[in-house]
Structure formats: structure tokens, C-alpha cells
Amino acid sequence: MATLKPSPHPETVSAAAARPTREQAEEAVRTLIRWAGDDPQREGLRDTPRRVAKAYEEFFAGYQVDAEDILRRTFSETNGYDEMVVLRDIRFESHCEHHIAPIIGKAHIAYMPDKRVIGISKLARLVEVFSKRLQIQEKMTAQIANAIHDVLQPKGVAVVVEGAHQCMTTRGIHKPGVTMVTSTMLGIFRDNSATRREFLAMIGDPASRQLPNV
């Protein structure tokens, strides 16, 4: 198994320093299986701890990536383009930090360039990095917007996230079909209502779109 580098983010440094071994993680899964009432040694569950640990490496791969590094390569050859750049319907899969239940949805990102632009794949990758952590949707929305603002220094950034939370659809209140919508507006998107309306018109009415199957 490859060694994962410690997270460069201040909020996760202490957790990374005390990171359990793979063997400890697998033993924790066996404990949960026993607590649920089953036998982790029976044939169908014998490899489950290994599979769960491997899945967690994928689910939470965002802790191993510096989001700002993704955005550092920008392009200045724009022929004077200074209108809105919008990337919409970016599917994401995250996990609620309260129940470790899936959050599945879409993110929409816009920014108003100021001399420089960035490759659109980097915006999708940014969503991937922040979603592959234990999250609440409100924080993830702000993290995406702030990272673009801090590195690219555009005239403004807008992020809208729509998510279906299985912590309330498959447990607790059991209310399927509910969509949570969050937004962060910075710069011209916050200060100029016409620019904000243009962005919202481009991404369409969240109520009229269907989220990915959960």
C-alpha cells in the first residue's frame, strides 16, 4: 500500500499526524460489524474490513490534496475576455460529517475573470477535492468559492451547490426527494444584482432539475 502524505491543511494536520494504521482501521470495521450483531469472521464478511478501508481511501481522498495547488496554473492569453465563466452540473459525491452518510448532488461555479482564467477541468477537480472529505454542504460551498477567490483573484465568484442528503432520506426523519441548496457569492456576484441574476439564469431553476440518482 502506498504511503499517503500528510494533509497540508491546518484543520487536518493534527488528525493526519495521529492517523491509525491500515490494520487498526480494519480492526475498527470488525468491531462495528460485531456491534451491529454479525460475525466478521463468517465467509461473506471476512474481506469486508479490507474493502471498507479501501473504500474510505477513495471516499476521503480529498484530505491528501492541497486544493490551492490545483488552481495555481492560470492563463493570461484571453484576448481581453472579461465576461462570466460558468461551469454547471458538476456531479459530486460527499459524506455528511455527522453520520458519514452520502451526500450526492451537483455544483455550479462561475467567476468573472480579471486578466487570468483557469482550465475548466481544474474547477471540476476543485469540487472533487472538497467533496472527498467529511463535510457539511454549507462549508463545502464556501470552501470552493474561497479557494477560487484567493488564488485566481477574479472580480467575483459564485458557487451554488444542490445536494441530496442520505442522513435524512435513509435514516432519522426519512424524507426522500428533498434537495438542499446552498450558495456563496463573492465580489461582483454579491455586490451587483444584475450579475447575480445572470448567473442564476444560466444555471437554471434548481427546482426544475433532477439530481443524480441516490
CATH number at residue 48: 1.10.286.10
Q: Is residue 10 part of a domain?
A: no
Report the predicted TM-score, pTM, of the whole model to 2 decimal places: 0.86
Q: Is residue 5 part of a domain?
A: no
3-class SS string, 107-165: EEEEEECCCCEECHHHHHHHHHHHHCCEECHHHHHHHHHHHHHHHHCCCEEEEEEEEEE
**Would you state the pLDDT for residue 205?**
66
For the question of residue 108 being annotated catalytic, the response is no
For the question of residue 43 being annotated catalytic, the response is no
- Clarify whether residues 109 and 47 are in a common domain: no
Report whether pLDDT(81) > 50.
yes
Distance CA 148, CA 79 (A): 21
Through-space distance between the first and last CA atoms of the chain, rounded to whole angstroms? 31
- Clarify whether residues 103 and 195 are in a common domain: yes
For the question of residue 96 being annotated catalytic, the response is yes
For the question of residue 98 being annotated catalytic, the response is yes
68, 93, 97, 198: the active-site residue: 97
pLDDT tens-place string over residues 104-154: 999 999 999 998 899 999 999 999 999 999 999 999 999 999 999 999 999
- Clarify whether residues 51 and 155 are in a common domain: no
- Clarify whether residues 138 and 202 are in a common domain: yes
- Clarify whether residues 52 and 102 are in a common domain: no
For the question of residue 165 being annotated catalytic, the response is yes
**What is the domain extent for residue 98?**
67-208
93, 99, 153, 198: the active-site residue: 99
26, 95, 96, 135: the active-site residue: 96
Sign of the CA dihedral 194, 198, 204, 206? negative
- Clarify whether residues 155 and 53 are in a common domain: no
- Clarify whether residues 198 and 141 are in a common domain: yes
- Clarify whether residues 192 and 94 are in a common domain: yes
**Strand segments (E) across the chain:** 74-75, 85-96, 102-112, 117-118, 134-135, 156-165, 180-187
64, 68, 153, 167: the active-site residue: 167
Mean pLDDT for the stretch of residues 76-102: 92
24, 41, 98, 138: the active-site residue: 98
For the question of residue 97 being annotated catalytic, the response is yes
Question: What is the DSSP code (8-state) at residue 206?
Answer: G
As to burial, measured by CB atoms within 10 angstroms (0-12 exposed, 13-18 middle, 19+ buried), residue 36 is exposed
Q: Is residue 125 part of a domain?
A: yes
Distance CA 148, CA 144 (A): 7
> How many structural domains comprise the chain?
2
- Clarify whether residues 55 and 75 are in a common domain: no
135, 137, 143, 166: the active-site residue: 137
More confident residue, 190 or 11: 190
For the question of residue 167 being annotated catalytic, the response is yes
- Clarify whether residues 79 and 149 are in a common domain: yes
